[in-house]
Amino acid sequence: MADATEEETVSAEASGFSDLSDSEFLEFLDLEDAQESNALVNMPGPSSESLGKDDKPISLQNWKRGLDILSPMERFQLKYLYVTDLASQNWCELQTAYGKEFPGFLAPEKAAVLDTGASIHLARELELHDLVTVPVTTKEDAWAIKFLNILSMIPTLQSEGHIREFPVFGEVEGVLLVGVIDELHYTAKGELELAELKTRRHPVLPLNTQKKKDCFQVSLYKYIFDAMVQGKVTPASLIHHTKLCPEKPLGPSVLRHAQQGGFSVKSLGDLMELVFLSLTLSDLPVIDILKIEYIHQETATVLGTEIVAFEEKEVRGKVQHYMAYWMGHREPQGVDVEEAWKCRTCTYADICEWRKGSGVLSSTVAPQAKKAK
C-alpha cells in the first residue's frame, strides 16, 4: 500500500478530545489544500489582535460580519469535507467552526493523543501490508495514490479478504465527503463488516454522547462506500469538486509505483477510469455490519465493542442539517445546556460566543491551551 508524502500536512481537526477519531488523521491533504491551510494560519483573525482604523481591537462580532457574505466552504477555501468534520459537528458544531477559523492551533495534550492514536492505527495497518513511500508533487499525484490503494484492495475484498485504511469519497447533499475506513473484513457468515478503531486515554468506555458521534461517523462511511460500489459516485462529480486535471501526466514516482502494481497508466484520468470500472464491475457487496472497537491507548486492552444499527433516514437528516452550516444557510450552533460539560475540555471555551451568551467578544482573547492539573 502506498503512502503519499512530500510537503503534505496531516488533517488534525479534533472533536471531543477525550475520544478522537484517529484514523483520518493518517489521511494526508492534497498539496494545494495544504498550502491554502498554511496561508489561512497567517490570516488575521480574532486571535491575532486585529486592529481597526482607529487602532482599537475589532470585536469578534464585527470581524465575523465581514465574513458573513461567504459560506464556510468559501471562507475556508474547502473543496471537500472529511467525514470527521461532520462527526465533529455531532459533538459540538461551534467547536468545529472555531477549529476552521484557528487552523494553526492544537493544544499539546491533544497533539499527544493524536500521535498515540495514529501509532496504534499504523501498527494495525502494518499487520496486513507494508507501506511504501511514494513522493508526490501535485494534487493529481496525491489522488492517484488514493486510487492505486483502492485498486490494490478491491481484489482482496473480492476474495473475501481483510483490508485496512480503505479510502472513500462521494457527493452528499451537494458537497464532496472524503474519509478512510479503518477496516473491512468478512464474518463467518460471509457478511461484510466495517470495524472502526477508537483509542481511549483512560480505560473506560465513552459516554453515550461520544458514542453517538462515533456511530454517526461509521454510518457515513457505509453510506459513501455503498454508493461507490453501487455506481452512484461519478468521475465528473469528483473532478467538479476537487478541480483535478485528469489529463495531467502523473509524476515519475507515481508512474513507477503504478507499473509495479501492474497498471499501465499515464494520467490521473486513466487511473480514475480503472477505479470506477473496478468498483462497479467487481460485484462488491454493500457493508452489512458496523462495529466500533474501543481500546485503551496505554495497554491496548479492548474495553468494549458497539454494533451500530444503520438508519439511512436519520443519517440523511443529520447530513442535511450539518451541510446547511457549511453552505452558509445558517450560523453554527453550540451544545445544549445539558451537554455544557463538554466545554470543560474545549480549546475554544475562553472565546466561545455560545458559552458566553453575549454574542460580542473582544478580539484580544485568544485560544489558550488548558493547563495540566
Q: Which amino acid is at 100?
A: K
Residues in CB range of 357: below 8 A, 6 or more apart:
none
**pLDDT at residue 112 greater than cutoff 80:** no
- pTM assigned to the model: 0.76
Out of 192-201, 289-298, 344-353, which region has the weakest mean confidence (pLDDT)?
Answer: 344-353
Q: Which domains does the chain have, with CATH numbers?
A: 83-131+163-244+286-350 (3.90.320.10)
* 255 grid coordinates: 508512474
Instruction: Report H helices in the chain.
Output: 31-41, 60-65, 72-75, 83-101, 108-126, 139-158, 208-229, 235-242, 252-260, 268-281, 312-326, 353-356
Sorted by sequence, the CB contacts under 8 Å of residue 135 that are 6+ apart come out as 5, 6, 251, 253
Helix axes 31-41, 139-158, angle to 10 degrees: 130
What is d(CA 305, CA 285) in angstroms, rounded to the nearest whole number?
Answer: 23
pLDDT per position as a tens digit, 302-350: 999 999 999 999 999 999 999 999 999 999 999 988 889 999 888 888 8
Q: What amino acid occupies position 71?
A: S
Mean pLDDT lowest for which of 60-64, 65-69, 206-210?
60-64
| Overall average pLDDT of the 224-235 stretch | 95
Percent of the chain with pLDDT over 70: 70
Query: What is the mean pLDDT of the segment spanning 99-124?
Result: 61
Q: At what angle do helices 139-158 and 252-260 cross, to 10 degrees?
A: 10
User: For 261-278, what is the mean pLDDT?
Assistant: 93
Q: What gap in Å lies between CA 145 and CA 136, rounded to an integer?
A: 9
Contacts (Cβ under 8 Å, ≥6 apart) of 102: 45, 47, 348, 367
* Mean model confidence pLDDT for the chain: 78
Q: What pLDDT digit, counting tens, does each position of 161-181 carry?
A: 999 999 999 999 999 999 999
